[in-house]
Amino acid sequence: MTLAKRLRKARRERNLTQKELAALVGISQQTVQELESGESKSSNHIMKFSKALQVKAGWLQFGEGNDPFEAMSDLYKKIPHGRVPVIEWKQAIQWSIESEDAINFSGKTIASPCPERKNKNIFSLRIKGDSMIGKNMAFTEGSYIVIDPDQNHKEGDYVVAIKSAAKEAVFRQLITEGGNDILVPLNPQYKTIEEDFHIIGVMIVHINYFI
């Protein structure tokens, strides 16, 4: 498979138009078109392409390693349409469709009222504890949240994040205070996380029933 075919395949798998991909990379649509047609045989933007398309640069440029979308297809053949994998909180730290956990996934899935599953990196987590139970909003233990790792986060979003050196992810609300992002629990008995954290993904659905 050529660079042109790999680039076109990855773009389509990510449900992006040439124009949208060009905007993510910071180049013209014509440049993308020339690469996909084979008119241009190489690019100085491979790293940016690989980041935008969530693939390894070596695979995109040279075809090194396994086709990430074959692994994706294998996983989602196991999971019926409209369902999302339920993973462990420690798995959320490095979850992606290309990860070993995803490729070998054989666990529980949950029916999700998500829109069409365009982002195949989506996963769900089962709520633990009472840190996100507040007066006006409650994520009760045993309910499920569906997380999109590729959705841009904004203030007020409920997010899954990892604190530096931690072994497990946490679920908090993202608040901006004094120009800085902080992670706030709905339960005031828990501490706010003010620094040294990385956001893994944004909650897009809360499923408040038990399976």
In a shared domain, residues 74 and 152: yes
Question: Same domain, yes or no, for 57 and 91?
Answer: no
Asked if 54 and 62 touch (Cβ cutoff 8 Å), the reply is: no
pTM: 0.60
pLDDT value for 27:
93
The dihedrals phi and psi of 26, each to the nearest 5 degrees, come to: 90, 35
Q: Which helix (H) or strand (E) holds 70?
A: helix 68-78
Question: In sequence order, what are the residues at sequence separation of 6 or more whose Cβ sits closer than 8 angstroms to the Cβ of residue 172?
Answer: 131, 132, 158, 159, 161, 183, 184, 185, 193
State the pLDDT confidence band at 210, using cuts at 50, 70 and 90: very low
pLDDT at residue 178, as a whole number: 87
Question: Angle, nearest 10°, between helix axes 29-37 and 3-13?
Answer: 120
**pLDDT confidence of residue 93:** 81
Confidence of residue 211 (pLDDT cuts 50, 70, 90): very low
* Mean pLDDT across the chain: 83
Q: Are residues 83 and 159 in the same domain?
A: yes
Domain final residue pick, 32, 65, 98: 65
* Residues of the chain by 3-state class (helix, strand, coil), percent to 5: 30, 25, 50
Question: What's the confidence (pLDDT) of residue 142?
Answer: 86
Residues contacting 59, CB < 8 A, separation 6+? 6, 65, 66, 67, 68
pLDDT band for position 209 (cuts 50, 70, 90): low
Domain of 105, CATH number, reads 2.10.109.10
Boundaries of domain holding 159: 70-207
Highest mean pLDDT among 14-23, 117-126, 127-136, 162-171: 127-136
User: Do 77 and 176 share a domain, yes or no?
Assistant: yes
Q: What CATH number does the domain containing 12 carry?
A: 1.10.260.40
- Please report the pLDDT score of residue 186 as a whole number: 95
- β-pair partners for 199: 161
Residues 135 and 55 occupy one common structural domain: no
pLDDT tens, 58-98? Answer: 999 999 887 776 655 555 455 555 678 889 898 888 776 56
- The residue among 65, 80, 100 that closes a domain is 65
Q: Which residue, 43, 65, 87, sits at the end of a domain?
A: 65
Kindly list the distances between the CA atom of residue 18 and the CA atoms of 51, 102, 172, in Å, as whole numbers in the listed order.
Answer: 15, 28, 35
Instruction: Based on the fold, state whether residues 109 and 141 are members of the same structural domain.
Output: yes
Name the nearest CA neighbour of 206 among 157, 135, 154: 157
**How many domains does the structure of the chain reveal?**
2
The predicted structure's pLDDT at residue 166: 72
| Rounded CA separation 53/69 (Å) | 11
pLDDT at 15: 67
- Least confident interval from 30-44, 94-108, 152-166, 175-189: 94-108
pLDDT at 185 over 60: yes
Distance, in Å, from the CA atom of 108 to the CA atom of 114, rounded to the nearest integer, reads: 17
Are 203 and 158 contained in the same domain? Answer: yes
Same structural domain, 55 and 96: no
Q: What is the pLDDT of residue 116?
A: 47
